[in-house]
Amino acid sequence: MSKIPYEILKEKNEFVLIFDLDGTLIDSLSKKAQIFANLFITYFDLDKLEINNIIKFYLNNGTSRSLQFSELALKYNIENFDLSVVKTFSNKFSQEFLRLINNVKPYDFVLEILKDLDQVGAQFGISTSVPQDSDLKTIVDHFFSKINFKFVFGFKNVNWKKPHYNLLQKIYSKKKFIFVGDTIFDYQVAKENKIHFLGFKLAFNREFLIFTNWREFYSKLHDLCFIYS
């Protein structure tokens, strides 16, 4: 791996790094999509042949669980669908994922990079669509117990969602932000909030820099910081 860009992250200290969680720091997205689809089909007694369509929807949707449920409920004409149903299903989903959490792990080199960032005093944290509840703390503590994230924000409502720009602006009023994510949705919300974006495992796009594995992270981060510093 290339050397961390100390001169930018430590001496200038002008950038705040915002990391997405699922599919970016931890290799969990496919596992969660499978759990979600299986539960959704079982819970609402749908045709098992729909499982691949629901998995695809989950992977491409990039929104909160409540919005995912609502859109799928409309698609499959599910009746009596309300917030209590969402809450019950969400609890089952969380329990199932936490039961299998040991089958998921951070991507290679993620822990080393986060430790490096922490050691040089970089400002960095997590912004995710995982609900801002005990599940999020459990997940972060499980994978990153030795990492000193400066903030960990999950989804609460339409005013408290990824990338939590308004909230971060209040904390870091004179900083520039870089959002590191793995989906087109991540790129879109970064663009909407005028945040610089670094894409992980995304198809080639001339509008932003990408890295295909975490070995490349420092060099791409350096390039991005150089462009916008």
E strands present in the chain = 15-19, 123-131, 152-155, 176-181, 196-200, 209-211
pLDDT (mean) for 213-222: 88
Give Cβ neighbours of residue 149 (< 8 Å, ≥ 6 apart). Answer: 124, 125, 126, 140
Q: What is the pLDDT of residues 175-215, one digit of tens each?
A: 889 999 988 888 989 999 999 999 998 765 667 888 999 99
- Angle at CA 123, nearest 5°, toward 15 and 220? 50
The DSSP bridge pattern shows strands 209-211 and 196-200 to be parallel
Q: What is the pLDDT of residues 13-68, one digit of tens each?
A: 678 999 999 999 999 988 888 998 999 999 889 999 999 999 988 877 655 566 67
147 closest CA partner among 123, 115, 172:
115
Considering the entire predicted model, what is its pTM?
Answer: 0.85
d(CA 30, CA 98): 15
